[in-house]
């Protein structure tokens, strides 16, 4: 029995050896394979983790891209809305401001028109009180003229108040020239007016006679129709002219560019300046306190032009006026700027076909230039 059991055990041992020996033989290979599998699994895990990280990163970007536009665009939309609201509010305020400004401007224009009319009425009232009714009136498209007789203690003359509607209504007319320096034998004021078709005229710039040729030449700067015929740097004389707007301009002008900047169309020269900006100007010593025939030109505070000729050197009729007295007279008439033109025997006042004043020479003197009006 023992031997049977021993034999059985031996058989089982042989079977076990036969079964597990190959496995024992392959253990290194299996171990190597297991290690390879484990490494592969580890690599797979690492790769998966990388993929997972990349996926998470992409998801983060996706989330950012999904959420980012919404928030900024919402903020931008809100900002734009605020800007639009501000712009709308600004526009509304500006519209209201423009309306208010327009209203203010309309009121200013109305007030200015009223003031101008009041000024005109005041001037007419002053002239009517001081001078009486006009002795002649001309109503033209380019100008309106009112002529008054001027009678004061010691002197007499004539005055014209002119409202220019068109600057071309007034011109400086020269006597016919004998050379390119404006040398001339002279011409009377009435002749200049009749020759050119003028309604009103007064003598203008001063002149001097050249012994060598016997011709007379203008004193100082002279401009006709915008062309500077003569330019002078003589600071002792005053320039008197009308610019493109029909405004009276003048004073001591010795710079050509300054003269050109005034845009003068017509102008002549003499001396002195009597009133500037409503203030009396100094009278040169050689001209002070002397009664003489005078030709004066100026403008009122409303821009209307004044022309005056005062006779002189005629006892019992008119002895003439000093420049100081002339200044007082002009200030009393609300004159803003005024100038003394050539006087003495040259002083001439022409209106509607005849000379109204009495020139001191007993007849008209031939002069170099005249301001002539074409209403």
Residues of the chain with pLDDT under 70: 1-81, 83-124, 126, 128
Is the same domain home to 192 and 45? Answer: no
Is the same domain home to 63 and 137? Answer: no
Nearest-angstrom CA–CA distance, 2 and 12: 15
Find the domain containing 15 and state its range: 2-67
Q: Looking at the chain, how many residues does it have?
A: 375
Is the same domain home to 53 and 166? Answer: no
Provide the domain count of the chain: 2
- Supply the pTM of this predicted model: 0.70
Q: Which pLDDT score is estimated for 81?
A: 65
Residues 278-283: contacts with CB within 8 Å, 24+ apart? Answer: 278/331, 278/335, 278/336, 280/327, 280/331, 283/323, 283/324, 283/327
Specify if 77 maps to a domain. Answer: no
Contacts of 333 (CB under 8 A, 6+ apart): 126, 127, 130, 300, 306
Specify if 84 maps to a domain. Answer: no
Q: Which pLDDT score is estimated for 32?
A: 53
Is the same domain home to 59 and 207? Answer: no
Is the same domain home to 180 and 297? Answer: yes
Sheet holding 248-251, edge to edge: 227-230, 222-224, 264-270, 238-243, 248-251
Which H helix or E strand runs over 161? strand 155-164
Q: Which pLDDT score is estimated for 2?
A: 47
Specify if 11 maps to a domain. Answer: yes
Is the same domain home to 45 and 193? Answer: no
Is the same domain home to 28 and 163? Answer: no
Structure tokens at 292: 């003489």
Query: Of 48, 67, 86, which residue constitutes the final position of a domain?
Result: 67
Is the same domain home to 222 and 301? Answer: yes
Structure tokens at 97: 């401001």
Q: Which pLDDT score is estimated for 54?
A: 60
Is the same domain home to 198 and 299? Answer: yes
Is the same domain home to 49 and 139? Answer: no
Nearest-angstrom CA–CA distance, 161 and 157: 14
Is the same domain home to 18 and 164? Answer: no
Is the same domain home to 259 and 348? Answer: yes
Query: Of 18, 51, 67, which residue constitutes the final position of a domain?
Result: 67
């Amino acid at each position: 029995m023992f031997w049977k059991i021993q034999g059985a055990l031996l058989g089982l041992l042989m079977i076990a050896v036969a079964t597990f020996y190959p496995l024992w033989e392959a253990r290194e290979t299996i171990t190597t394979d297991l290690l390879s599998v484990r490494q592969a699994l580890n690599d797979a895990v690492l790769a998966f983790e990388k993929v997972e990280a990349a996926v998470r990163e992409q998801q983060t970007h996706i989330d950012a891209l999904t959420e980012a536009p919404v928030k900024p665009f919402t903020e931008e939309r809100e900002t734009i809305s605020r800007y639009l609201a501000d712009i709308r509010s600004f526009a509304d305020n500006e519209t209201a401001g423009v309306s208010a400004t327009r209203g203010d401007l309309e009121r200013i224009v109305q007030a200015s028109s009223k003031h101008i009319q009041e000024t005109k009425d005041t001037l007419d009232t002053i002239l009517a009180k001081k001078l009486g009714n006009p002795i002649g009136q001309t109503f033209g498209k380019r100008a309106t003229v009112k002529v008054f007789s001027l009678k004061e203690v010691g002197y007499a003359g004539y005055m014209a108040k002119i409202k220019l509607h068109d600057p071309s209504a007034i011109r400086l007319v020269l006597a016919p020239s004998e050379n390119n320096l404006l040398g001339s034998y002279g011409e009377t004021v009435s002749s200049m007016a009749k020759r050119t078709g003028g309604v009103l005229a007064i003598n203008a710039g001063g002149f001097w006679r050249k012994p060598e040729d016997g011709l007379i030449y203008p004193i100082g700067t002279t401009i006709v129709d915008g062309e500077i015929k003569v330019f002078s740097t003589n600071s002792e004389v005053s320039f008197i002219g009308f610019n493109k707007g029909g405004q009276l301009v003048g004073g001591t002008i010795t710079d050509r560019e300054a003269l050109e900047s005034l845009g003068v169309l017509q102008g002549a020269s003499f001396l002195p300046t009597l009133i500037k900006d409503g203030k009396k100007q100094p009278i040169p010593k050689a001209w002070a306190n002397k009664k003489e025939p005078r030709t004066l030109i100026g403008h009122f505070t409303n821009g209307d032009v004044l022309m005056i000729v005062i006779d002189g050197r005629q006892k019992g009729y008119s002895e003439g006026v000093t420049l100081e007295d002339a200044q007082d007279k002009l200030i009393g008439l609300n004159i803003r700027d005024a100038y003394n033109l050539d006087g003495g025997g040259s002083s001439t006042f022409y209106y509607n076909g005849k000379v109204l004043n009495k020139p001191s020479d007993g007849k008209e003197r031939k002069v170099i230039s005249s301001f002539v009006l074409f209403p």
